[in-house]
Amino acid sequence: MFIAGINGPSDRVTYFAGAFPSMCGKTSTAMLKGETIVGDDIAYIRNIGGRARAVNVETGLFGIIQDINPDDDPMIWKILHEENEIIFSNILKTENGRVHWIGKPG
């Protein structure tokens, strides 16, 4: 599930909810600058002053890492190789202490 905004005339943004399958790129797209996906798996919607307001509680970078590579996903690849805190789950840790996932190059 996701909530996305579509840009219209006169700077109008119309939001709608939809359902896309797992691993289709919702989370990666939500992290791109300028995108209007509010929530790609979890979004809280509240009535504030008679208007629907939503917030994505998955801040930061979150998603499925399978097949992430430097050619197709340069932004995510860069983040994965910078000095920062990353929590991996359901991956293989190799003997040299590096992480490995399905589709990871070399």
Residues 40 and 74 in one domain: no
Q: What is the pLDDT of residues 58-69, one digit of tens each?
A: 555 556 677 888
Q: Convert the pLDDT of each residue in 31-68 to its tens digit.
A: 666 767 766 666 677 889 998 887 766 555 556 677 88
CA angle 90, 93, 95 (to 5 degrees): 165
**Are 71 and 86 found together in one domain?**
yes
Residues 49 and 3 in one domain: yes
Q: What is the Cα gyration radius of the chain?
A: 17
23: alpha, beta or left? (left if phi > 0; alpha if psi -120 to 50): left
- Residues recognised as catalytic: 24
Does 24 share its domain with 39? Answer: yes
Query: 43 burial class (0-12, 13-18, 19+ CB within 10 angstroms)?
Result: middle
- 53 and 2 assigned to the same domain: yes
Host domain of residue 48: 1-62
Question: What single-letter DSSP state applies at residue 94?
Answer: P
